[in-house]
Structure 1
Amino acid sequence: MTPDLDHLAEAIRARNADGGRILVAIVGAPASGKSALSDRLYHHLGGDKAGAAVVPMDGFHFDNSILEDRGLLARKGAPETFDIGGLKRTLTALRDTQNEDVYVPLFDRSLEISRGSARAITPRHKIILVEGNYLLLDQAPWTQLHDLFDLSIYLEVPEEILRQRLIERWRGHGFDDAPATHKATSNDLPNAQTVIHGTGIADIWVMTCS
């Protein structure tokens, strides 16, 4: 089932009826299609010229040096490997300082690091699509984020499809079948299960099976 962009855009615009700024959480497990949906919604809403912007949670990955010091490098992508304090401060700034530019980091997958202040959210940006795995996670400290969102959308994908997608993702990075399967099942799939079983209530649930 393909997400109904018209329906989602209508729900977002309804929350933005007064013309102020809204923050929309787009949540799902790894490989659920969050980034793709965020990009499609961004363009469906009119893109930058219409005041839409995307803020990916991945920009708040801890640096590898911090993860290595904490013994978490092999778990990169798990909830404890993100700077949730920095994410909360940025989302709060987006809500509370709408008349100022707010700069957000972006994760560079080619370098495996976050680039600080890589995207500018300006006062003309009124619809902020915040996409990430754990934005609605029903465990501390992630629960601190829930009240910051005006609308939340959750992508529900069967676990077996996620498993296949995660393996294919690593194959696409040049790994053979065995190491791709190991990488997907040793870290990515447990993270996906954390999202599936630990996500709180979302306003809109989108089911996809392909």
Structure 2
Amino acid sequence: MHTYKPYYHFSREAWAALSETETPPLTQTELEEIRGINTRISLSEVETAYMPLTKLISFYLEAAETLHAKAGAFLGTSEKKVPFIIGIAGSVAVGKSTIARLLQLLLSRVLPHKKTELVTTDGFLYPNAVLQEKQLMKRKGFPESYDIKALIDFMGQVKAGTTHIMGPQYSHLTYDVLPEQEELVSDPDILIVEGVNVLQVKKEYQFFVSDFFDFSIYIDAEEPNIEKWYKERFLMLRATAFQDPKSYFRHYAEVSLEEALQSADTIWEEINAKNLHENILPTKGRSDLILRKGNNHEVEDVYLRKL
């Protein structure tokens, strides 16, 4: 009996061999500006791991546009091609945001005639006041803490070809949705949607966020590495952003280092690890591509779903 293996596997070396350039189309300064607070990434890593991915996405985009044109000619329709949507999922602290921003920049350089925009799903979290009322503050980041209806409506508008769509904004400083503040998604050719649960499937909904994706990526790593990265980030934020009087986490900057470390341990164990095992990790196999990182944030393995 044959075991079905839905993914091609590429080692780091095999994947790097697919890169067609030795000079990534960005500078070290630009890379520093988009990377996360404790996400280590170099121009060499961009060339090795992310330039092949950018080229691959361009093939998927080209194929989607060709199919749209041929199907339109066959059916006698003339609708405008709607945005190509890329979903990026993975655990807290695994580096999703940095990769999303990096892909946005690379795609805009490699495909300068295409407009690439980025949306994170944080803005679709319920406001803290609602989460407190629902007693969900300790479940923030879990599927039930999101306004899924609003998120799916947003995605539906994108795929319907709506040219100007407003989405909610989120502040990591105040740890809350910004009231009466929205960001504009304006007629992109490519839209990147990043969030921990974007590949989640819940039977109570008729549609899923991933229904709207043309290509999806899961950022993977060993759990001890993700936990280490989370705690490193927590301590770096404690010394920087948490110092701001407006920070929701200001109190962590005022307690002892030992107390802060204990808090980081508790948050990881009771919230982030639990969410990872219950909701995020089970969606890995629904992605088109898996980037598996080693302990230094470098991509060690790539898994691409077979066509």
Q: Do these two structures clear the TM 0.5 threshold for a shared fold by scoring above it?
A: yes
Note the 1:46-61 alignment, pairs <5 A: 46=108, 50-61=114-125
What is the SS of the residue equivalent to 2:126? Answer: coil
* The 10-residue stretch of structure 1 (182-191 or 33-42) with the greater mean CA deviation from structure 2: 182-191
**Post-superposition CA distance 1:102-151 (Å, at most 9, x none):** 1122211111122355321112x111000011111243357622221111
What is the SS of the residue equivalent to 1:206? Answer: strand
What is the SS of the residue equivalent to 1:186? Answer: helix
* Alpha-carbon distance in structure 2 between the residues aligned to 1:21 and 1:70: 35
* Alpha-carbon distance in structure 1 between the residues aligned to 2:57 and 2:182: 25
8 Å CA contact 2:220, 2:293 repeated in 1: yes
Amino acid at match of 1:8: L
* Alpha-carbon distance in structure 2 between the residues aligned to 1:151 and 1:20: 14
Flag the 1:197–1:20 CA change in 2: closer, same or farther, 3 A: closer
How many percent identity over aligned positions?
21
* Alpha-carbon distance in structure 2 between the residues aligned to 1:12 and 1:103: 26
Report the counterpart of residue 189 of structure 1 in structure 2. Answer: 273
| Structure 1 moving runs of 4+ over 6 Å | none
Q: Is 2:55 the partner of 1:10?
A: yes
TM-score, normalised to structure 1, is 0.89
Higher relative contact order (CA 8 A, sep 6+): 1
Q: How far has the Cα of 1:201 moved from its partner?
A: 1.5
Amino acid at match of 2:275: N
**Post-superposition CA distance 1:14-38 (Å, at most 9, x none):** 2322265111101111111110100
**Post-superposition CA distance 1:22-60 (Å, at most 9, x none):** 111011111111101000111111279840010101111
The structure 1 residue matched to 2:85, chosen from 19, 23, 36, is 23
What is the SS of the residue equivalent to 2:218? Answer: strand
8 Å CA contact 2:86, 2:213 repeated in 1: yes
8 Å CA contact 1:166, 1:188 repeated in 2: no
What is the SS of the residue equivalent to 1:46? Answer: helix
Q: Which of 1 and 2 has greater Rg?
A: 2
* Alpha-carbon distance in structure 1 between the residues aligned to 2:198 and 2:148: 10
Report the counterpart of residue 172 of structure 2 in structure 1. Answer: 109
Q: How far has the Cα of 1:6 moved from its partner?
A: 1.5
Amino acid at match of 2:96: K
TM-score, normalised to structure 2, is 0.63
* Alpha-carbon distance in structure 1 between the residues aligned to 2:113 and 2:262: 45
- 5+ residue gaps, structure 1, are none
* Alpha-carbon distance in structure 1 between the residues aligned to 2:96 and 2:197: 12
Report the counterpart of residue 134 of structure 1 in structure 2. Answer: 197
* Equivalent pairs, count: 208
* Alpha-carbon distance in structure 1 between the residues aligned to 2:167 and 2:58: 23
Amino acid at match of 1:46: S
Report the counterpart of residue 294 of structure 2 in structure 1. Answer: 209
Report the counterpart of residue 79 of structure 1 in structure 2. Answer: 143
Amino acid at match of 2:133: D
What is the root-mean-square deviation of aligned Cα atoms in Å? 2.2
* The 10-residue stretch of structure 1 (189-198 or 135-144) with the greater mean CA deviation from structure 2: 135-144
Flag the 1:181–1:65 CA change in 2: closer, same or farther, 3 A: same
Report the counterpart of residue 99 of structure 2 in structure 1. Answer: 37
8 Å CA contact 2:284, 2:290 repeated in 1: no
Amino acid at match of 1:206: L
Report the counterpart of residue 161 of structure 2 in structure 1. Answer: 97
Q: Is 2:240 the partner of 1:178?
A: no
